[in-house]
A and B are shown apart, each in its own frame.
Chain A
Amino acid sequence: MLLTLVTFIPLIGGLALLFVPKGKDDIVRGIATAAAAVALILSVIVLLGYDKSLAGMQFVEHRIWIPSLNVTYYLGVDGLSIAMLVLTTLLSLISVIYSYNITSRVKEYFFFFLLLETGMLGVFLALDFFLFYVFWEITLVPMYFLIGIWGGPRKEYAAIKFFLYTLFGSVIMLLGIIALYFASPSHTFNMLELAEQAPTFTKLFQNVIYAALFIGFAIKVPVFPFHTWLPDAHVEAPTAVSVILAGVLLKMGTYGMLRVSFSILPQAVLYFAMPLAVLAMINIIYGAYCAMAQKDLKKMIAYSSINHMGYVLLGMAAMTTAGLNGAIFQMFNHGIITGALFLLVGVIYDRAHTRDIEGFGGLGSIMPVYTGIMMVAVFASLGLPGLSGFWSEFMCFLGAFQVQNTWMKIITGLSAIGIVVTAAYFLIMIQKVFLGPANEKWKSLPEINRRELITVVPLIVIMVVLGFLPRIVMELSSKNVDSMVKMLGAIKP
């Protein structure tokens, strides 16, 4: 019952707040916060009860749902999803608190937000493909409205682009799911059962299905060249929604690849490992250079997400223990770090109403606390040892370099250029925004306030703690990764 509770508590909260009479926005905020907080607490209970020495599914719930189609209500958590579960509930609560500054159509806003949370949690917990797809699609609608109603100047364009692009991907994914359903001997949507039946699928079939699913997942990640919805959506979305977009939604793509492609289509995964590595490299280098060219702070962080998700892809393409553990860890870290960065960009935008990197200067002496926090987040993002981002990035690279394939080593080496470029664009930004003489125009900007601190400090603490004790998160996935590497290793390409 625990996983069902985690998943649906936000939705229940969302429905409850619809009954709050008009004008009582504080009660709406209170209910939303309570729902998100309860979900976080429950997910922490799951985390504490999670046995990391096992590779299998835990907290399983399996019920008949639509018998005629053999669709079941099937939830469970394992090493691939446990970190995502906690990341989702944590970032959701933080985003809800940050969203207290939303003043128009408050009730609808929080309803959509909590509906979105339920959708995301469902994606990470569903073990039935049909259920997975339902949750996957549920996330689309609230996100569309959250960007389209509460977004920036080009919100309609960004929202429609996001919606249509991802819908396009998920329709192709749906075809893949249906094909898998009919190809499986037992006509099932059960992911674990499908994984067991993987050997019965022909290579060609696996490759075709992989490609279909890949488009769905790749758009979400996003993988070059399917990425252009991301800068628009991230920039136009309100701060808290950007946090969720970058922090959680992107992970649905890489999580989907791991959960579905890696377990059900191992032959195809081996077949496409090299192209995936090349795409990872493009994401890393291209994303980094595009970030360097940005003048808008938020857009820079958006492109840096493309860059950082490339590390995840590289670790996955490696298919080694270090690479896959690194990839899962990087998914978590990117959520925390980029989440914090978007919050921090929101803080400055709320004050200055601009995000033009060139227009700032000397904020370090005007807002010292804010600057200090920003620096930690930036250094975590550019992979400074001692902060969480370093470990996952390095493991992705290490795992990829281990592969006994010269091309893979070359790709990894070239990708490492991305790290240098990342350092460059972040430092250029720091210099232009925070250092130098204080810009008169911003002399009176108030320091980061309490609500903002409450949202961002926990993320900073996590970056530092994981910087010293990365195993807290890494241990969670290691058993699953071991069995996955073993399984992939046993297959002859």
Chain B
Amino acid sequence: MKKKSASDAGKKAFITNKFGDFGFSIGIMMIFAFCGTLNFGEVADAISKGTLSGSALTLAGILVFCGAVGKSAQFPLHVWLPDAMEGPTPVSALIHAATMVAAGVYLVARTYFLYAASPTASAVVAYTGVFTAFFAATMALVATDIKRVLAFSTVSQLGYMIMALGVGGYTAGMFHLTTHAFFKALLFLGAGSVIHGAATQDIRDMGGLGKHMKITMVTFFIACLAISGIPPFSGFYSKDEVLLAAFNYSKPVYIVATFTAFMTAFYMFRLFFRTFTGEMRTKLHPHESPYTMTIPLMVLAALSIVAGWLFVQGHAFESLVHFKEGAAEEGNALVVWISIAASVIGIGLALAVYVLKIVPDGFFRNKFPRIHKVLINKWYVDEFYDKTVIKPSLNLARRLFSFDAKYIDGAVNLTGIINVVISKLHNVFDKAAVDGAVNGVAEAAQSGGGLLRRVQTGLVQNYMLLLVAGAALAVVVFFFVK
């Protein structure tokens, strides 16, 4: 973690997830406040009995979903995942593609009873998911860092799963989660192999690597077919079920999801063609990776081929996850064919642009420079957060602290100063008035004494004179005053 960008990414991932957890923890508290328990089974019972219902249930569902939004990188908390690609590639493969980000999807699936009982909460889940799927796919279209393309793809696919759960296809969502783990881990490890062999992450510098990295290329190709949903690869089966669930839920959701499938096929094959086919664009010295790296690729490729087909045999996956609601629905030929068509068109377009060069490379970029710029800048979401959350928070912190120092502490110090001033005034008063009075009395006594002392001459004659004068005065007073 010596790179600033890497430690920034770590911090961003943590804090962004904290935002999700903020809602999640309140959701947990709400459930506890209503149900008095956090045991999944007991909460489900409480909901079926109506202990937690109505808008409270909806709110609790949405709040719990916040946790999933953070962990599974859904809009608007998706920002951390692409940056987290700063980590080493195997970490990306495991954590950011297959396992950790799955936790959010799993959370929604695990607490499906909240969403099954609240149409509003499940609608929030569904629309968040489908929007994220679309939104992330648009960014994947233009990304040039091989790992970032895969990161956006992950966000998009997670959106797919979340959408599936939201539309009630719990089994479909979990199924896609499982198959996705295989081919996305394969893609990441393949990318790792490419980076290892070509010593760059930028697909603009690559091209023609297939000649030098055959195993990597073939396995990567399998993964691309799987994620694009071409039968009989694993992605086909799960994506098909996801789209079917969406189709039965709402047509607009279905249409966006299908369009996303088209974009997915396009950007995956854009990545594939630019990396492995054509001419090398810069001087690289690519070489195939050692067996320690290619064997995992082959294993994952095998799984990416067969996993989907295996799991649908005798409803294997369905009985494995065993949801009471949202079981796999009956097939719909229309949905299947449209889905395959979308993928094929996507692949065909990529082929046309990057291999056959029917459409010139950079056509889109030159034709719609503004849109391209927005996409390259990830819809300016980071900038938006920087302006609306991060900077204001730091500002608020500074303001509150200067308020603290100036006013609150100022008041304390002012009290201190006032007391010091009062004590000084007291001191002055004390010296001038109180002590003055004391001293005044003393001085009066002293000066009075000084005056009187003059009388005390020590001469008997004087005393006698005073005695006579006094007696005379007494006589005068006695006779005349009376």
Chain B residues touching A, majority SS:
helix
Given A364-B1, A398-B32, do A289 and B11 touch, yes or no (CB 8 Å)?
A: no
Is B412 an interface position by the 8 A CB rule? yes
Inter-chain CA distance A15–B198, complex, in Å, is: 74
Is A181 an interface position by the 8 A CB rule? no
Q: Beta-carbon contacts of A227-240 to B below 8 Å, as 1s and 0s?
A: 11100000000000
Min CB–CB distance A230 → chain B (angstroms): 10
Inter-chain CA distance A398–B8, complex, in Å, is: 32
**In the complex, are the beta carbons of B18 and A419 less than 8 A apart?**
yes
Min CB–CB distance A367 → chain B (angstroms): 15
Min CB–CB distance B469 → chain A (angstroms): 65
Min CB–CB distance B62 → chain A (angstroms): 13
Min CB–CB distance A414 → chain B (angstroms): 10
Inter-chain CA distance A420–B394, complex, in Å, is: 13
**In the complex, are the beta carbons of B397 and A402 less than 8 A apart?**
no
**In the complex, are the beta carbons of B412 and A161 less than 8 A apart?**
yes
**In the complex, are the beta carbons of B404 and A424 less than 8 A apart?**
no
**In the complex, are the beta carbons of A423 and B401 less than 8 A apart?**
no
List the A side residues contacting B394 at CB < 8 Å.
Answer: 292-293
Min CB–CB distance B101 → chain A (angstroms): 18
**In the complex, are the beta carbons of B29 and A365 less than 8 A apart?**
no
Given A289-B401, A424-B393, do A401 and B32 touch, yes or no (CB 8 Å)?
A: yes
Chain B residue total in the interface (Cβ 8 A): 34
**In the complex, are the beta carbons of B33 and A423 less than 8 A apart?**
no
The residues in B between 19 and 61 inclusive whose CB is less than 8 angstroms from any CB of A are 19, 21-22, 25-26, 28-30, 32-33
List the A side residues contacting B2 at CB < 8 Å.
Answer: 362, 365, 435-437
**In the complex, are the beta carbons of B18 and A431 less than 8 A apart?**
no
List the B side residues contacting A401 at CB < 8 Å.
Answer: 26, 29-30, 32-33
Inter-chain CA distance A21–B138, complex, in Å, is: 80
Inter-chain CA distance A227–B22, complex, in Å, is: 27
**In the complex, are the beta carbons of B15 and A431 less than 8 A apart?**
no
Is A270 an interface position by the 8 A CB rule? no
Inter-chain CA distance A225–B400, complex, in Å, is: 13
Is A110 an interface position by the 8 A CB rule? no
**In the complex, are the beta carbons of A294 and B15 less than 8 A apart?**
no
**In the complex, are the beta carbons of B19 and A420 less than 8 A apart?**
yes
Most buried by B among A286, A362, A424: A424
Is A397 an interface position by the 8 A CB rule? yes
Q: Beta-carbon contacts of B203-227 to A below 8 Å, as 1s and 0s?
A: 0000000000000000000000000
**In the complex, are the beta carbons of B412 and A228 less than 8 A apart?**
yes
Chain A residue total in the interface (Cβ 8 A): 41
Inter-chain CA distance A236–B32, complex, in Å, is: 43
The residues in B between 364 and 400 inclusive whose CB is less than 8 angstroms from any CB of A are 393-394, 396-398, 400
**Which B residue's beta carbon lies closest to that of A393?**
B25
The residues in A between 427 and 457 inclusive whose CB is less than 8 angstroms from any CB of B are 427-428, 430-431, 435-437
Given A401-B26, A402-B33, A417-B22, do A423 and B408 touch, yes or no (CB 8 Å)?
A: no
Is A208 an interface position by the 8 A CB rule? no
List the A side residues contacting B337 at CB < 8 Å.
Answer: none
Is A165 an interface position by the 8 A CB rule? yes
Is B453 an interface position by the 8 A CB rule? no
**In the complex, are the beta carbons of B4 and A436 less than 8 A apart?**
yes
Is A394 an interface position by the 8 A CB rule? yes
Inter-chain CA distance A286–B30, complex, in Å, is: 25
Min CB–CB distance A416 → chain B (angstroms): 5
**In the complex, are the beta carbons of B25 and A290 less than 8 A apart?**
no
**Which A residue's beta carbon lies closest to that of B13?**
A427
Is A493 an interface position by the 8 A CB rule? no
List the B side residues contacting A165 at CB < 8 Å.
Answer: 412
Given A225-B408, A401-B26, do A290 and B32 touch, yes or no (CB 8 Å)?
A: no
Q: Beta-carbon contacts of A211-222 to B below 8 Å, as 1s and 0s?
A: 000000000000
**Which A residue's beta carbon lies closest to that of B3?**
A436
**Which B residue's beta carbon lies closest to that of A431?**
B7
Contact of B29 among A364, A398, A417 (CB under 8 A): A398
List the A side residues contacting B29 at CB < 8 Å.
Answer: 397-398, 401-402, 412
Given A398-B32, A416-B25, A437-B2, do A293 and B14 touch, yes or no (CB 8 Å)?
A: no
30 contacts between A and B (CB under 8 A): A161-B412, A165-B412, A224-B408, A225-B411, A286-B400, A289-B393, A290-B397, A291-B397, A292-B397, A293-B397, A293-B398, A293-B401, A397-B25, A397-B29, A398-B32, A402-B32, A412-B26, A413-B26, A416-B25, A416-B26, A419-B18, A419-B21, A423-B18, A427-B11, A428-B11, A435-B1, A435-B2, A435-B10, A436-B7, A437-B2
A-B CB proximity, top 6 nearest: A293-B401, A292-B397, A401-B29, A228-B409, A435-B7, A293-B397
A-binding residues in B (CB < 8 A): 1-2, 4, 7-8, 10-11, 14-15, 18-19, 21-22, 25-26, 28-30, 32-33, 393-394, 396-398, 400-402, 404, 408-409, 411-412, 416
Other than the known A164-B416, A427-B15, A431-B10, what 16 A-B pairs have Cβ atoms closer than 8 Å?
Answer: A227-B408, A228-B404, A228-B409, A228-B412, A289-B397, A292-B397, A398-B28, A401-B30, A413-B26, A416-B25, A419-B18, A423-B15, A424-B15, A428-B11, A430-B11, A431-B8
